[in-house]
Amino acid sequence: MDPLDIMSNMEKIIPHYQAIFSADEQRVIGYEILGRILLDNDEFHSLGSFFQDDNIPDEFRIEVDDWLVKRAIDEFIELNDLELLLFINRDANLLMLDHGESFLQILLKGQEKGLQLTQIVIEITEYNFKGDISQLYHLLQYYKTYGIKIAIDNIGKASSNLDRIGHLSPDILKIDLQPLRLTSPFQSYYDVLFSISLLARKIGATLLYEDIEVNFQLQYAWKNGGRYYQGYFLDKPKRHFIHRDERKELLINEFQHYISSEKKKLQTVYSFTESFHNRIHQLILKYGKHYEDYNDLLKELAIELDDCCFRIYICDEDGFQQSVNVYKNIEWEVQPEYYMKNWSWRPYFLANIVKMRFDKKGFLSDVYSDIEKGVLIRTFSYPLNKSHYLFLDLSYDFLYEQESLL
């Protein structure tokens, strides 16, 4: 639409609301305001492109946004439910034009009518902010003194700087799951989402997964630390607020399926770990005493484990490799250059060593991407003695053939 047509029809700009649901309560915990304009054919048209178009004068976008927010706040107050949150999108670049003062005044006037500022969540997009990040940080911290919460939006949809996000200390991280609809999302996408989940845990932020349009996206969000969910699969934007328990039965049923599936998978992994531990234990009893040289032992193990492994090596408790790599390319080959390399820098390496020392048994790692091969693998670790530990990298093909190992 022509921006001037929008500006001359302000009375037709009407807020819509998309519900946000919680995992712990399986009910609506808040609503995001979305801008819509009523057309002559009595259909509503999204104003998303209007707000995102940098060619439209700043004052136009601010005026429309303010109009929308004021009307939404008045309608939200009428709900009289102090447990609900109201999510308000705000362009950080526009917000900083007057250091957020005019927007704060809108909220304070809402407070005079009964709005609790602790119910407000301001959503900003970090990656398109062009100003001084430290000034934005100070503004957001100032808002927080009023009890206002901060959410960083569209994480995962475009390039995001995790350092900047961490610096802004948001209360909520909104992760976009639209790329999951691709036929084959890049592994790097999953790695980025994993990094974001770690960041959220470290800074104490809640994960909100958005753009959930199909069941498997909801399952991914549930499995990967999502407390809040939003998307067409649960609720489309509507003119009015919905009942808080409208999707409770659906969420309870879906979660029960996820829980059953995950428990079955964990039981399978546990059973496999026990079985594989016994297999390795028997091989060590068979070959371990016959070889003083670890390299010869690894060659024997490679023959026995040809069906499942592609890399075998031994490290001491400090991470220094005490053997060569025995590596399967097409045939098994020896890689002497790995002798005495140190792997203690790897995440969880030393923690895993201590775990084996105390448990005195082998265990299976999580699925991760191998640095050299670039494919998903798992590593089985086994304590040979009090100071040396055997590491067996299980191939993707083998894991793929085993139920629930990928």
What's the pLDDT score for residue 325? 96
- Counting residues of the chain whose pLDDT is more than 70, the rounded percentage is 97
* 397 sits in which H/E element: helix 396-401
CA-to-CA dists, residue 267 to 272, 275, 392, angstroms: 9, 12, 21
Looking at residue 156, its pLDDT comes to 63
Predicted pLDDT at 374: 82
pLDDT at 178: 85
Q: Looking at residue 292, what is its pLDDT?
A: 73
Strand, helix or coil for residue 323: coil
Where residue 154 falls among pLDDT bands split at 50, 70, 90? confident
Residue 239 has pLDDT above 80, yes or no: yes
Partners of 381 in beta bridges: 363, 391
Q: What is the DSSP letter of 180?
A: G
3-state secondary structure (DSSP) of residue 204: coil
13-55 confidence digits (pLDDT tens): 999 999 999 999 999 999 999 999 999 888 999 999 999 999 9
CA-wise closest residue to 17 among 94, 112, 116, 84? 84
The confidence band for 192, taking pLDDT boundaries of 50, 70 and 90, is confident
The pLDDT value recorded for residue 93 is: 95
Q: Do the strands 325-328 and 206-210 form a parallel or antiparallel pair, or are they unpaired? A: unpaired
Whole-Å CA distances, 366 to 105, 137, 189, 300, 361: 50, 36, 18, 26, 17
The closest of 319, 352, 364, 357 to 338, measured between CA atoms, is 319
Residue among 350, 353, 325 nearest 337 (CA): 325
CA-nearest of 369, 309, 298 to 335 is 298
Q: Assign 160 a pLDDT band (cuts: 50, 70, 90).
A: low
Residue 195's pLDDT band (boundaries 50, 70, 90)?
confident
pLDDT band of residue 183 (cuts 50, 70, 90) is: low
Q: How confident is the model over 246-288, as pLDDT tens digits?
A: 999 999 999 999 999 999 999 999 999 999 999 999 999 998 7
What are the helix (H) ranges across 115-186? 133-144, 162-168
Q: What is the mean pLDDT of residues 198-212?
A: 93
- pTM for this structure? 0.88
- 355-365 pLDDT, tens digit per residue, is 999 999 999 99
pLDDT at 206 over 60: yes
93 CB burial (10 A radius; 0-12, 13-18, 19+): middle
pLDDT at 69: 97
What pLDDT score was predicted for residue 165?
Answer: 87
All domains of the chain in start order, with CATH? 3-233 (3.20.20.450), 287-401 (3.30.450.20)
Task: Tokens for 94, please give them.
Answer: 């526009």
pLDDT in tens, 60-116: 999 999 999 999 999 999 999 999 999 999 999 999 999 999 999 999 999 999 999
Cβ proximity of 262 and 269 under 8 Å? no
Tell me the percentage of the chain whose pLDDT exceeds 90.
78
Q: What are the E-state strand segments in 23-84?
A: 28-38, 44-46
Give the model's confidence band at 180: pLDDT under 50 very low, under 70 low, under 90 confident, else very high.
Answer: confident
Phi, psi of 233 (to 5 degrees): -60, -30
pLDDT at residue 161 tops 80: no
Cβ atoms of 207 and 225 within 8 Å: the answer is: yes
- CA dist., res. 207 & res. 44, Å (int): 30
Q: Give the per-residue pLDDT at 362.
A: 94
Residue type, 63: E
SS (H, E, C) 236-294: CCECCCCCCCCCHHHHHHHHHHHHHHHHHHHHHHHHHHHHHHHHHHHHHHHHHHHCCCH
Nearest to 20 by CA among 12, 10, 29: 29
Confidence tier at 403 by pLDDT (50, 70, 90): confident
Banded pLDDT at 197 (limits 50, 70, 90): confident
Task: Report the distance separating Cα 366 and Cα 406, nearest Å.
Answer: 9
